[in-house]
Structure 1
Amino acid sequence: MPRYLPFEPGPHRLRVGTRTLDPATWVELGPDADAQLAEKRRLLAGRHADVVAVADADPGPAAVRAAGRELLDTLVGHLLAHHPERYALRGGEVVDPRDGAAYLPAERDGLHPVDLAARLVPEDLCLHLPGRDGVLRLVAASVAFPSRWVLAEKVGRPVAEIHAPVPGYAAAIGTPVDRVLERLDPARGLWRLNGSVLDHPALFQPRRPHREAPPRVPDDVVLRVERQTLRRMPVSGAVVFTIRTHVDPLAALDGDAGARARVAGWLRALPGDLAAYKGLGALAPAVLAWLEGPRAAPAQGPPGRHPLFTGRTPV
């Protein structure tokens, strides 16, 4: 079964859906961490400009670099304290004690601190700072695993503009999101889940991959879940948004009738404009046919709750 299953049947509504973050769980490793770090290194070597972006306007490069450095130092301290089996400090370098390999490249003088920080963990990292107008903006990011959005189109923009393409965002949760960000305390981080169903397993999907033929269900279909966290840096006041991506084959639900019924119920309740935004318009009927097909034994009573389900799917 997937690690997380943030899908629930019933009337759909957008919600912020945040919960208090246990500081020890800020970074989430797991059996896929090594593969994701290797994929990050490959993408950074070949497509660096697509993965890393830094705003050059307000509040200015010096402020952004200082906040990025605070993020890097905070992250290194967290990893050494909470994941000593994977991170150690030797000769001033952060290394993997399993094989002694350094996480950061030797030639790194020109790399931004946010770029360096993201090379340490599977998470994508987005750094936000307010400008002179007080509006919070995405000022630096390393996003190796985007889910059909382009970093270059988001960097430098206010949070509300970044999410403007999401149908119903402004009306439903625009103001609540702003309040969450304004009240975010350095001593109390938050986390949430976001889930979708995609027709391609690639981690790096700035745009929908081209297909010569329709996707096969369930073979080509995956459940893509993002575990997202929010933390405020205590010195700079920067807001750090992390995205830990988990991709599981749809077929992983084959043995759980309750989970299949839950995902099917979520898919049926998804409004048409949001389904189209998530790229599910043409895919949904075939996925529903598989989820509700003869191999899906009927669940007893209402669909059960997945042990790691944490609320109705947010945006």
Structure 2
Amino acid sequence: MLVNLEVGSVLLALLVVATWIQRRRRAEKSASSLAPPIHLDSKQGTTRITPLEHFNVDATEPHPYRPWSSGKFAMTMGIQKVPSEEWLTLDRRYVPEQALRRELLARHHDGVMQILPGSESACEEVLSMVVSYLTQRYPHLFYHPSGQLDHIYNKLTEQTFKIVAPYDVPPLEIAAQLAMEDINILYPGFGEDPEQHYLAASYSMAPAGWDLRERIGWPLWKIHSPVPMWQEKLQRSVEKYFHKMKADDLIARHNYFVQTDDILFQQVPFAERLPEPPKIEDIRIRHERQTLRRLPRTGAILFLVRTYIMPLTDLRDDPDSLRAFLSSVRAMPPNMAKYKGRPVWGETVERWCAEILEEPIS
């Protein structure tokens, strides 16, 4: 009887081990469909993303970007190279903004996410890159659940997503619930002109006065058609740059608007006039950090946008930045000033800045 029990115990143990090995192999097979870990550009060669194992999201303030400068207005691409480790950023706004993303997906799905047929492979590639980066950079916040390499766990929102086909939800929707940036995929030749880049897929939580349902499928030049001087000054150079971009290039540019509320999801154009001038307490600087890179497998351009909204009054104790901001506002040509909404908020901003800086109103 004792021998039978021992044999049974051994068989049971072997069965458990065999089952574990089988599950592990299935997980590894599923994970093999993911892109390899990101090893991004470095002048000395490829380098691995350094993990921030003790990064505290709640204690991290949004980056204090100052995307303006004093002096003469200049219409340029304004791009700069970005270290690989600074691609996706996290801060204390992560949890509330992810809550907004989920609400928008539930209530305004088509208004925040559009995926044109033919862009699915690029969406999968984006998800793979986002997962690879986040699990390397923040391994204590984004990781594969035990024995499930085909899933990712987001500790900040306590969500688990399947990250290989067949997907439970579209890959772009998953990527949008992992990163803080809005995600845009620009495909060359996705429309009538093979030389143009077209918006083929997008998750946009923070449109600055436009509706994604209208813009999806537009070429780059049409997307920027409302921007004064863009076609004359930038269209040709931007398209040329896009066609020359390599997969290991990572660049950023910055843009800003001024608005009179805290709304991130701004689908309708900004007001050209208000019943009465806004109060300085209502003035917000809307800053966009835009990063661009070419997807190595599909060749599409990945255009990410992180939007920050900051009260202008935050510059009260930073006179150098405030002076540069005022100079930038004053230097706008009339058509750019109208596009940026200066007739709405300009007088309020001018008076307050002059008061704080103890300078005369121009």
Into which bin does the TM-score normalised by the smaller protein fall?
A: 0.7 to 0.9
For residues 337 and 140 of structure 2, the distance between their equivalents in structure 1, rounded to whole angstroms, comes to 41
Which of 1 and 2 has higher RCO (CA within 8 Å, sep 6+)?
Answer: 1
Of 127, 132, 153, the residue aligned with 1:72 is 127
2:107 aligned residue: 46
For residues 308 and 130 of structure 2, the distance between their equivalents in structure 1, rounded to whole angstroms, comes to 21
Q: Which amino acid aligns with 1:123?
A: E
Of 94, 97, 103, the residue aligned with 2:155 is 97
2:290 aligned residue: 228
Unaligned runs of 5+ in 1: 56-60, 299-315
Measured against aligned partners, the alpha-carbon deviations of 1:164-184 in whole angstroms (never above 9, x if no partner) come to 111100111111111221111
Q: Which amino acid aligns with 2:303?
A: F
Moved more, 224-233 or 78-87: 78-87
For residues 253 and 66 of structure 1, the distance between their equivalents in structure 2, rounded to whole angstroms, comes to 44
1:129 aligned residue: 187
Q: Which amino acid aligns with 1:76?
A: V
Moved more, 112-121 or 147-156: 112-121
Q: CA deviation at 1:26?
A: 1.1
Compute the TM-score of the two structures, normalised by the length of structure 1.
Answer: 0.85
Of 167, 178, 181, the residue aligned with 2:239 is 178
Superposed, 1:145-164 pairs within 5 Å as: 145-164=206-225
Superposed, 1:1-315 pairs within 5 Å as: 3-55=64-116, 61=117, 63-90=118-145, 91=148, 92-97=150-155, 101-102=158-159, 104=161, 109=167, 111-131=169-189, 133-134=193-194, 135-208=196-269, 213-214=275-276, 216-293=278-355, 295-297=356-358
Cα distance change, pair 110–278 in 1 and its aligned pair in 2 (3 A)? farther
2:44 aligned residue: none
For residues 122 and 319 of structure 2, the distance between their equivalents in structure 1, rounded to whole angstroms, comes to 47
Q: Does the CA contact (< 8 Å) of 1:199 and 1:215 recur in 2?
A: no
Moved more, 166-175 or 275-284: 275-284
For residues 209 and 221 of structure 1, the distance between their equivalents in structure 2, rounded to whole angstroms, comes to 13
Aligned identity (percent) is 27
Partner of 2:70: helix, strand, or coil? coil
Q: Which has the higher helix share?
A: 2
For residues 120 and 63 of structure 2, the distance between their equivalents in structure 1, rounded to whole angstroms, comes to 37
Q: Which amino acid aligns with 2:252?
A: W
Q: Does the CA contact (< 8 Å) of 1:217 and 1:290 recur in 2?
A: no
Q: CA deviation at 1:109?
A: 4.9
RMSD over equivalenced CA pairs, Å: 2.3
Q: CA deviation at 1:287?
A: 0.8
For residues 102 and 285 of structure 1, the distance between their equivalents in structure 2, rounded to whole angstroms, comes to 46
For residues 120 and 265 of structure 1, the distance between their equivalents in structure 2, rounded to whole angstroms, comes to 37
Q: How many residues align?
A: 289
Compute the TM-score of the two structures, normalised by the length of structure 2.
Answer: 0.75
For residues 227 and 180 of structure 1, the distance between their equivalents in structure 2, rounded to whole angstroms, comes to 19
For residues 98 and 42 of structure 1, the distance between their equivalents in structure 2, rounded to whole angstroms, comes to 17
Q: CA deviation at 1:80?
A: 0.5
1:305 aligned residue: none
Cα distance change, pair 194–98 in 1 and its aligned pair in 2 (3 A)? closer
Q: CA deviation at 1:290?
A: 0.7
Measured against aligned partners, the alpha-carbon deviations of 1:283-302 in whole angstroms (never above 9, x if no partner) come to 11111111111x3356xxxx
Partner of 1:281: helix, strand, or coil? helix
Q: Does the CA contact (< 8 Å) of 2:162 and 2:168 recur in 1?
A: no
Unaligned runs of 5+ in 2: 1-61
For residues 71 and 137 of structure 1, the distance between their equivalents in structure 2, rounded to whole angstroms, comes to 17
For residues 276 and 357 of structure 2, the distance between their equivalents in structure 1, rounded to whole angstroms, comes to 23
Cα distance change, pair 212–277 in 1 and its aligned pair in 2 (3 A)? closer
For residues 93 and 277 of structure 2, the distance between their equivalents in structure 1, rounded to whole angstroms, comes to 24
